[in-house]
Amino acid sequence: MLKQRHYVTTATTSTHWYDFYPSILNTRRSQYGDNFCLVLNCSRICDEAYILPFTKFAQYFSPEYLKGNRWFGHVRREYLTVEPDQGPIHEVDVGPFYNAFELLQDAPQPIPARIEFL
């Protein structure tokens, strides 16, 4: 369900390298407008992700910033880089979006806490 609504990519290398493809991004936009998130999953074993509302980050994922057939960069010290084919690398603070799971519409709800019996 989460991957149907939001664009989830894996960024589990030590530099949190990521990539996003225009075809998948355009599919999300045709289905949800700009009302979805880009999710950089930074760990395979625990909750460590950047949840980026597309409305706030759309300017960095426009055609002029494509490198080949995708956008890519890294997350370092809570700054996302977008590394285009030509021109300067773009850098934006994503610290406030670290583990911001509350921004995910239609996300599965967590399993209820274990009930303690007295």
Q: Over the stretch 57-107, which tens digit does the pLDDT of each residue have?
A: 999 998 888 988 999 999 998 999 999 888 888 899 999 999 999 898 765
Summarize pLDDT for 3-58 with one digit per residue, the tens: 788 999 988 888 889 999 999 999 999 999 999 999 999 988 888 899 999 999 99
pLDDT of residue 15: 84
Helix (H, G, I), strand (E, B) or coil at 33: coil
pLDDT of residue 3: 76
List the one residue out of 104, 108, 92, 107 whose CA is nearest residue 36: 104
| Residue at 15: amino acid letter | T
Q: What contacts 24+ positions apart, CB below 8 Å, involve 54-57?
A: 54/7, 54/28, 54/29, 57/92
pLDDT of residue 78: 93
pLDDT of residue 106: 65
- pLDDT exceeds cutoff 80 at 108: no
pLDDT of residue 19: 93
pLDDT of residue 75: 94
pLDDT of residue 116: 53
Q: pTM score, two decimals?
A: 0.83
